[in-house]
C-alpha cells in the first residue's frame, strides 16, 4: 500500500505534539507538588492556591522548631515533657545557681517572723497550758474547790495542799505557798474565794522570782556571748538550741552552734540540720571527739566571724553520773580558756513531763556547774504545770524559757506574772 508523504508528516507532527503536551503536564504537576510541600514546610501559601494567605499564628506548644523570644521568656517545661527531644526549648530563664538559693530562702522564711526574747501573751500561755487548766489539771482541780456556796474555812488549806502535791509542785514548795494562806485563813482575812485565789497567785509569783531575778532572754553584753546547754538526754537541748538560734537570727544576731554532744551522732546531725535551716555556722568534730575542743574551736570561729552568740550543745549521758559531771566541768573550763569569762550563761534544760523525777538529775548538774537559768520543755505535754513552781523553788534558779510546742515560736521567754496568770487566772479577767 502506498502512503503519501503528507500523511506521514502529519502523523509525525501529531506524535511530537502529544509528547510535548505530556512533558509539559508532567513538569507542571511535579513543580506544583514541590511547591505545595515547600509551602507546607515554610507556612507560606501553596503554589497555585488563589486563597489569601491566613495570618501566621504562633506554633502550638506541641510543635517543634524555632519559637519567638516572647514565647520562650515565660515558658516552664512540665516534668512530663522530654527536654532532650526539644533542644530549642528553654527550661528556665534563671541560672541554675539561683534555684537552690530560692529553695533555701523558702526554708528560712518562717524564721523571719520569729522574734528573740519575746514574752508571750497570757492567751498563748493558756493554750499551751491547756492540760494543766482542764478538769484534771492543777487549775481545774483548784477551781473545783471553790463553789459559789462553799464556805471558806481553814480546812480549805488542806484541800489546796493535796492538789498542789499531786500536781508535782513538791512538798517544800507547797508548804511555802500555803504558809500565808493558812495565816490569812486563821486570822479571818481570806473570807472569800477571790481573796484566796489572789493570795495563792501572789505567793506563786513570789516563788518564781528567785533573788529578784525572773525570766529574761539572753543579754548579749559581749561578742561572742557563750551559752552552754546542759541536761539529760531527751530533755530537748538540741531542739531548744535550734529554736533559740532561729529567734536570734530573726533579731539580726549572728550565731555559731557548737555540736558538743559528740557521743551521740544523731545530736550532731540534728544540730547541723538546724544550722543549715537557720543559716548559722555549725562547728562539730568526729564521732566521739573531745567536746571541750569542739567548744573551744566554736568560740574561736565565732570571734573570727564576729558572731554575737555561741550556743553550745553537750552530752546528757555517760557511763556514770560522775563521768558526765566531770565532762561538763571540763567543757566549761575549755570555754574559759578560749574566752575569759565564758560560759556567760549555763542553761539547764528539763523535760517538764518528768515532773519531780527530773529534780534529782537537775540537782546533780547544779552541784557541778553554776546554773544561771532553767529551760522547761514540753510544758504543753503535761497536766502538772505546777512543776514549774517546784523546780524553780527547789533549785533556787530562775526559769528563763519555756517550750510549749515544736515550732521556733513555741519557745517563750518566761515571765512569772504572765505564767501564773495563765496557770491560775480566770479567763473572765483576761
Least confidently predicted of 2-11, 42-51, 229-238: 42-51
Place of cell 478538769: 135
How would you classify the pairing of strands 411-413 and 373-377?
unpaired
Q: What is the pLDDT of residue 183?
A: 86
Q: What is the pLDDT of residue 332?
A: 96
Q: What is the mean pLDDT of residues 190-199?
A: 84
Instruction: Check pLDDT > 50 for residue 19.
Output: yes
Q: What is the mean pLDDT of residues 46-73?
A: 40
For residues 198 and 429, give the distance between their C-alpha atoms in angstroms, rounded to a whole number.
12
Give one DSSP letter per residue of 116-133, joined into a string: TTPPPPHHHHHHHTHHHH
Q: Which three cell numbers stand for residue 90?
A: 528553654
How would you classify the pairing of strands 255-258 and 225-230?
unpaired
- pLDDT band of residue 136 (cuts 50, 70, 90) is low
Cα–Cα distances (Å) from 181 to 161, 178, 190, 205, 387, in that order, read 11, 5, 8, 14, 20
- pLDDT, averaged across the chain: 76
Report the half-sphere exposure of 49 (CA within 13 A, side-chain side). Answer: 14
Quote the Cα angle for 51-53-54, to 5°: 115
Q: What is the pLDDT of residue 248?
A: 95
Least confidently predicted of 109-118, 303-312, 414-423: 109-118
pLDDT tens digits, residue range 263-273? 888 999 999 99
Place of cell 554532744: 261
pLDDT tens digits, residue range 277-334? 999 999 998 878 899 999 999 999 999 999 999 999 999 987 678 899 999 999 999 9
Taking a C-beta distance cutoff of 8 angstroms, is the pair 262, 268 a contact? yes
Instruction: Check pLDDT > 50 for residue 145.
Output: yes
311 or 218, higher pLDDT? 311
Instruction: Check pLDDT > 70 for residue 172.
Output: yes
Instruction: Check pLDDT > 60 for residue 389.
Output: yes
- pLDDT band of residue 427 (cuts 50, 70, 90) is low
Q: What is the pLDDT of residue 230?
A: 96
Amino acid at each position: 500500500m502506498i502512503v503519501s508523504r503528507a500523511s506521514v508528516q502529519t502523523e509525525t507532527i501529531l506524535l511530537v505534539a502529544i509528547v510535548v503536551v505530556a512533558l509539559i503536564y508532567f513538569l507542571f504537576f511535579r513543580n506544583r507538588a514541590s511547591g505545595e510541600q515547600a509551602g507546607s514546610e515554610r507556612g507560606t501559601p501553596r503554589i497555585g492556591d488563589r486563597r489569601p494567605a491566613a495570618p501566621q499564628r504562633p506554633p502550638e506548644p506541641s510543635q517543634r522548631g524555632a519559637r519567638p523570644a516572647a514565647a520562650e521568656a515565660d515558658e516552664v517545661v512540665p516534668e512530663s515533657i522530654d527536654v532532650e527531644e526539644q533542644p530549642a526549648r528553654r527550661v528556665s530563664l534563671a541560672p541554675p545557681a539561683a534555684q537552690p538559693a530560692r529553695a533555701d530562702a523558702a526554708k528560712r522564711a518562717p524564721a523571719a517572723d520569729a522574734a528573740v526574747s519575746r514574752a508571750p501573751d497570757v492567751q498563748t500561755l493558756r493554750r499551751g497550758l491547756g492540760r494543766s487548766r482542764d478538769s484534771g489539771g492543777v487549775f481545774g482541780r483548784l477551781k473545783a474547790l471553790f463553789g459559789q456556796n462553799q464556805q471558806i474555812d481553814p480546812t480549805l488549806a488542806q484541800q489546796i495542799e493535796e492538789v498542789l502535791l499531786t500536781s508535782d509542785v513538791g512538798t517544800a514548795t507547797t508548804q511555802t505557798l500555803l504558809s500565808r494562806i493558812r495565816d490569812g485563813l486563821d486570822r479571818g482575812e481570806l473570807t472569800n474565794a477571790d481573796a484566796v485565789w489572789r493570795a495563792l497567785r501572789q505567793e506563786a509569783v513570789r516563788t518564781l522570782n528567785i533573788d529578784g531575778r525572773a525570766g529574761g532572754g539572753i543579754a548579749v553584753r559581749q561578742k561572742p556571748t557563750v551559752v552552754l546547754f546542759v541536761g539529760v538526754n531527751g530533755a530537748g537541748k538540741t531542739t531548744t538550741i535550734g529554736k533559740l538560734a532561729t529567734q536570734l537570727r530573726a533579731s539580726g544576731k549572728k550565731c555559731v552552734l557548737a555540736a558538743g554532744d559528740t557521743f551521740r551522732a544523731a545530736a550532731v546531725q540534728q544540730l547541723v540540720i538546724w544550722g543549715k535551716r537557720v543559716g548559722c555556722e555549725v562547728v562539730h568534730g568526729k564521732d566521739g571527739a573531745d567536746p571541750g575542743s569542739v567548744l573551744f574551736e566554736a568560740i574561736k570561729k565565732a570571734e573570727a566571724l564576729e558572731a554575737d552568740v555561741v550556743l553550745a550543745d553537750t552530752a546528757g549521758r555517760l557511763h556514770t553520773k560522775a563521768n558526765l559531771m566531770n565532762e561538763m566541768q571540763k567543757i566549761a573550763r575549755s570555754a574559759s580558756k578560749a574566752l575569759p569569762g565564758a560560759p556567760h550563761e549555763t542553761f539547764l534544760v528539763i523535760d517538764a513531763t518528768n515532773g519531780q523525777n527530773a529534780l534529782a538529775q537537775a540537782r546533780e548538774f547544779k552541784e557541778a556547774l553554776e546554773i544561771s537559768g532553767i529551760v522547761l520543755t514540753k510544758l504543753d505535754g503535761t497536766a502538772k504545770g505546777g512543776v514549774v513552781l517546784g523546780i524553780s523553788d527547789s533549785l533556787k534558779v530562775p526559769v528563763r524559757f519555756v517550750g510549749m510546742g515544736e515550732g521556733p515560736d513555741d519557745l517563750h521567754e518566761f515571765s512569772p506574772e504572765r505564767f501564773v496568770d495563765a496557770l491560775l487566772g480566770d479567763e473572765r479577767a483576761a
